[in-house]
Structure 1
Amino acid sequence: MIEFKNVTKRYGSKTAVEDASFYVKEGEFFVLIGPSGSGKTTTLKMINRLIPLTEGYIYFKDKPVSDYEVHEMRWDIGYVLQQIALFPHMTIKENIAQVPQMKKWKEADIDQRTAELMTMVGLDPDTYKDRKPAELSGGQQQRVGVIRALAADPPVILMDEPFSALDPITRESLQDDLTALQQEIKKTIVFVTHDIKEAMKLGDRICLFNEGRIEQIGTPEEFLTAPKNDFVQEFIGYQREENETIGEFIRADSAEAEEAVYPLVEESTKIEDAFKVFAEHEAVAVRTAKGNKLLSRRDVFKHLSDKRGDSA
């Protein structure tokens, strides 16, 4: 879907991104992460040509991005900013309708799409569509920002630290909402964050930058079990214990598995072996032999990252 081949971006004598190569698969949630100034946001903005590259090639749907008409390409790439950036003088419906109107959709189709998207993120259309952004909370405004990027049904969504300005409770709620939404819409999402907990929770794969260079690309499991160097280990900030088991993450309030469709694991199963079970069965969750408790892949990452935060 999106491919970088030896991409470099320079500003005069300063190199912001150096020789970056990676491929984002269709339907993948791909996270760009790194310290401030590491090149992650520059990389994101080169995808839709908000920033021009200096060397190399970027391909979108097997075609160099430079071959597209800029405005037409951007219609096919939704964009969600850290600053919510809704038009304050427009209603919520008018904000959502911007790109569909540019693409000359029929008004009835815009109405249907607006109602569908608002319902997806828990905003009743009849209640909210005619309100102005100032009448919504920060979390509600950011939900509108997300679905505005989805309005014209683009295959790709770029998200530049969309939740970083929100309070922790709202931020976690929106992360959960985005996870559920992605399971339904299955878009290709490239997501920038500086928060490793957020990256572990959301990403199918993670690309870690440092001073413009890629240090490691891999699944959350690979970052936890096989960090490539000291920088990666330090950035993750979590030292996995040798005999850590799945049973350590089962809580009294963990949900019970209603159906026997999830792979069965013993509570004594080591974390790295549980990761293998998730991968082999392409499972989003496992159930424990003792107590029939349900433990999702993302639950494991959340608990691991919480432990990382406790030890930081």
Structure 2
Amino acid sequence: MKVVSITYNNVTIQLSIEEVEFFHKVLLEVQQAIQDGFTTRVGVSPRQARGFFESIIQEIQQSGQRLMDISFSYQEVFVFQHLLSEVCNAIVINNFQIKLGKSEQEAKELLQWVCNVTNEMQALQKARKASYMPSLSNLPKQEEANKCCLEADGYLITFYIRKLLSFKNVVNIFIVLSIDTTQALEFSINSVSRSIEVEELCDFIKNFEKYIEFTDSEFEALAGPFQIFNSSIFQVHTLGKGITSNNEKYTTVEFMLPVANSRHSIMKPFMGVLGAVTFKNIYAFILSMRKILTE
């Protein structure tokens, strides 16, 4: 089991059919041991629990994949936790490993892992309430949030990055795109708080580094925009390079944030800006993000 992404009310977990079948066996043992109090102690009825795991098994089988990313609500994760808590701490199962396919120690380690997931979701929920996100004025008050900025000519992109308590491979980000219009008008786009794998942000950094280190011949060989990052959270592309009046190198950066869901699920509409960013500012941005991710 591996966390792919996590928010205060939803978590996506990478599962194998063997892992789901283990939980199905756990369910059967718990149902047999506590027939009368099952719904109270697990949080759902035996029928609902069976349907829950059988539907996941069917979904993985139909996909034909060995591993599958499956999204669970806050309440659904607690079904995993309650079932594991029963077999680890409450009921007695003779021939534990033979019946379930895992040792008691492995089950306890898995219970701790699931507890970490629910604790993290609770912490994210608490942080969300404390900061009243996405209120821009409250962002600096968010606990355990770091920020790094990409300053362009006419706009500023600020990444607020919060490390999760229990998972080193995932962070939460909140992005603010501020546009410097006139003294009488301010315009900004705030994203929602989203979780993202650290590896993805590292790839984002590496692609930026790769681009600004291109030789003149490599720049000339580019037929169109160079993709720095492309996801449902944000998109970054670069288009050519130049020299400012101060003799600084710059590139034209296109930065986009999703603003709505498409009616027919064809593609999400994005909104953003296109403007010049000096290599100096890109270097500063890369260093600050790398420092946050590696601390």
The structure with more radius of gyration = 2
| Structure of higher RCO (CA pairs closer than 8 Å, 6+ residues apart) | 1
> Is the pair's TM-score, using the shorter chain for normalization, greater than 0.5?
no
What TM-score results when the alignment is normalised by the length of structure 1? 0.26
Q: Which has the higher strand share?
A: 2
